[in-house]
Each structure stands twice: as C-alpha cells, then as structure tokens.
Amino acid sequence: MSSAHDAAPASELALNERLSLPDQETMDALDALQGDIVILGAGGKMGPTLARMARRAISDPARRVMAVSRFTDAAVSSQLEAAGVEIIRADLSDARDVQRLPEAANVLWLAGQKFGTTGDPVGTWTHNVVASVHAAERYAGSRIVCFSTGNVYGRTPVVHGGSQEGDVLVPDGEYAASTIGRERVFESVARRTGSPLLLYRLFYACDLRYGVVTEIARKVLNGEPIDVATGWVNVIWQGDANRLALRALQAASTPAVAINVTGTMVRVREIAERCAMYAGVSPRITGRESDQALLANVARLHDVMPYIELPLEVLCEWAVTWVRSNGRLLDKPTKFEVRDGRF
C-alpha cells in the first residue's frame, strides 16, 4: 500500500477537500495563463470539485472562477459560493442564456448527457451537440478544454493496448455518435477562429460516490457476482482528472489536440480481487473475459502532462472503506459493462 495516500476520506466534506486539492503543477499551469476561467456544466459529478480546485490553484484573487449550470441542487451552489467560486445560473441548451454569459479567456466545457440516452435520443443530441454550438460560438477565441469520452473509439482488441488519439473514431450508439458531434462542433469553430482547443477524452473517473471501482467494491461487499465479460478497463481518481483538466488549458493548441485521460489498463478481475482483499471476503467472479474492450493508450497524456496517478490499491481500499461506512452513493452507474452502446 502507498503510505502517502492511506487515510481514506471519512466524510463528504473530507472527500470534496481531497478531490479539489491542486498540486504544484496545476498551480503553475494556471498562473502561467492570463484571464478568468469559466466552467460550463459545473453542476454535475466533476464540476463542483473542479471549480473549487481552480479557485484554490489561482494565486491572484482578482481572477474570476465562474461556474455555470442550472444548479438544481441548492447545496452545491451554496458550497461553491462559500469557496469563492462565482455562480451563474443558465440553461446551456438555450442560446439566449449562453450569449449572456460573461467573457472568459479560459473555458472548460463539461456539459453533456450520457445516462438515459437510449430513451431520449433528441435530448442527447440537444445536450451534446446543439448546446456545444452555442458555447463554441460564444467563446470563439478563448482557450478551450472540451470534455469528451473514450466511447468515441468503440471497443478494440485488448492485445493492442488501447485506442490512440489518431485512431479512426467508431461510434457505437447515440451517445458515442453525439459526442463525436460535440468534438466536431468545437473543432470547426476553433479552426475557423484560431481558438486553442484540447479534446479531453476522459475514461472512467472515480469519485468514491460513483465510478467503476466503487461499483465493484459495492458488489464485493454485498456478495454479488462480478461479470468479467468486459475484462479490462482504464480508471482514474477524479482528483487526478481534475488536476489534469486544469493543466489541459495550458496544453490547448491550434490546431486542436485530443488527449486520452485515464489511468493504465487494468483487469476488472484484479479490481475485484483487490477490493475483496481489503474487505476480507472472496469475490464472486462470473463470465469469460472478452478479447475486446473500451480501452485507452495513455502515452500521449504522459508525454504532454506527466503525473503520478493515485495507485489502484489505494483507490480500491478507499472505495471499500467508503461503501462499508455507508458513504453516500450517487445513482449514476458507469455502465462500463455495456457492450452494445445503449446507455
């Protein structure tokens, strides 16, 4: 085990504190940039701690950090305001709301829809493409990090070591297709306006309230079977993903660059066995590992933004501790086992 990280967060307050803690590289990256930061779609899973981290990382208190969302959860907006983040309520699918947003030299686009896409294809394209048009046009000329997903690649043979950024995109289902649409919208506007852009293709960030590792830890503790048909995944601690997202602003370029953001490939069986070891039980493994999975090659990430990831064994131990102590869980399954593109 890694002694530098062993103490698991014991409360949501402690968890949010850990998730929003910047490192020196993040602070240096933001201080090297000029201007304010706006985070569009800041009310979701990553947005609140990402916004808090940005505020903590910037040494100049005069630079604004703005979080934009409908903010249906009043507690989230109150906590952000208490942390010094400016709250702006807006519907990002409404062009009039987006046009009224303040100027910002640095933009992170987190908005989008994944869950429920099968039952709401129109909503999926509205949130993932139409809203992107409004934002890309509004912030043309700004430095932009556009959140995307590994689903743009589709499954690949495990032996190939994961998809690389230059691979042909093969959408599997409405979600993946609409996310490619989001990327193309931002690329189109960036190409026309000369805006620095980075496509942030994130694979399976893990908070303790959600994520692949937490889902597997919960099944282990409940004695539920763990199907390993999807035998390999990439996972990344959300705190690491937050830090890399802010550093990505400095890495945005013209022409646009795409970067896979996640941890190294790991077997689902290994995650289950590690969680079971910390739980003191035996995992119930079922199924046969397929020779294909949704996987990322992260060589470019480590070339452009080298970092030391939270060790898998620590994340597994934290997840077991969190679930066992009845820590709050979000009803947002990753559906990493899905193999037909239907989310």
The CATH number linked to 317 is 3.90.25
Specify the amino acid at residue 119. Answer: G
> pLDDT value at position 339?
53
Residue 214 φ then ψ, to 5°: -65, -40
Residues 201 and 290 in one domain: no
| 291: its two tokens | 């020779």
Residue 328 lies in a domain: no
Residue 338 lies in a domain: no
Rounded CA gap, 142 and 196, in Å? 7
Domain range for 230 is 212-234+265-294+308-323
| Assessment of whether the complete model's pTM goes beyond 0.85 | yes
> pLDDT value at position 132?
95
Mean pLDDT, residues 1-27 taken together: 85
240 backbone φψ class: left, alpha, beta (φ>0; ψ -120 to 50): alpha
Mean pLDDT, residues 218-225 taken together: 96
> pLDDT value at position 2?
38
SS3 for 144? strand
Q: pLDDT band at residue 173, thresholds of 50, 70 and 90? A: confident
Residue 196 lies in a domain: yes
Rounded CA gap, 259 and 164, in Å? 9
Task: Name the strand (E) or helix (H) holding 53.
Answer: helix 47-57
Residue 335 lies in a domain: no
Contact 175, 124 (CB under 8 A): yes
220 backbone φψ class: left, alpha, beta (φ>0; ψ -120 to 50): alpha
Domain count of the chain?
2
